[in-house]
Amino acid sequence: MQTTEKTNWKVDPTHSEIEFKVKHMMISTVTGSFSEFDAAIEAADDTFKDAQFSFNAKIDSISTKNDDRDTHLKSDDFFNAEKYPELKFKSKSFDGEKMVGDLTIRDITKEITLDVDFNGIAEDPYGQTKAGFEAEGSINRKDFNLSWNAVTEAGSIVVSDKVRLIANLQFTKQ
C-alpha cells in the first residue's frame, strides 16, 4: 500500500467568515460573527473527501453590532470568554456534502453535522491555489450550557434555543 503525503490548506481570513444566527423574540433574526478565527485542512487530494477540517474562533472577537449584547454573550450567561476563550471544531468525516465533527463550546463537546458546499478550486492572480467551502448547520445552544433566557411580559421567549452556524471559508494551499 502506498502512502500519499497530505496537503495542508490554511484559511484566508480576509475572504472568510464564521457567523451564527439566532431568533430574537421569535420574530426577527440576530446575526453574529467572530472576527478572529483560524482554520486548516489536511487533505489527501483535491476532492477533500475524508480530509481533516479544523477551526477555532476567539470568543472575545464576537460581534452582533451591539456592544451591550456582545458583552452579555461574553459573560458566564453564555460563552464565559474569560474561562473558555475559544470555540473549536474538528471533523471526523467528510463525504463531499456532509461533515460530521466535534464542536466544543465552553467545556462541552458534542458531535454535530454540517451541510457543506465545496465551491471548487481556483488560482488567484498571485499564483496561489485557493479552495472555497460553505458550511451550515444547527445546534441547540442549551446543549453547550448557553442556557440564559428571559421571557417578555407578553410571554415571548427572548432568545431561541436553535442557533444556525454558517461558515464561508476560503483556504490557501500551503
Instruction: For residue range 75-90, list pLDDT tens digits in order.
Output: 998 999 999 999 999 9
pLDDT in tens, 94-152: 999 999 999 999 999 999 999 999 999 999 999 999 999 999 999 999 999 988 887 76
Q: Which of the four pLDDT bands, split at 50, 70 and 90, describes residue 156?
A: low
Cα 41–Cα 50–Cα 5 angle in degrees, nearest 5: 65
If we measure between CA atoms, which residue out of 6, 112, 18 comes closest to residue 49?
6
Whole-prediction pTM: 0.91
How many Å apart are CA 26 and CA 14, to the nearest integer? 32
- Quick one: cell of 161? 434555543
**Domains of the chain from N-terminus onward:** 7-173 (2.40.128.110)
- Can you tell me the distance from the alpha carbon of 106 to that of 62, in angstroms, rounded to the nearest whole number? 14
Of the candidates 101, 168, 97, the residue with the CA atom closest to the CA atom of residue 134: 168
Q: How confident is the model at residue 159 (pLDDT cuts 50, 70, 90)?
A: confident
Return the pLDDT at 24. Answer: 82
Q: Per residue in 24-55, is it b (16+ CB within 10 Å) or e — as a string? A: beeeeebebbbeebebebebeeeebeebbbbb
Task: Say which residues have a Cβ less than 8 Å from residue 98's Cβ, sequence separation at least 6.
Answer: 113, 114, 115, 116
Amino acid 125: pLDDT: 95
Q: Is the pLDDT of residue 3 over 70?
A: no
% of the chain beyond a pLDDT of 90: 84
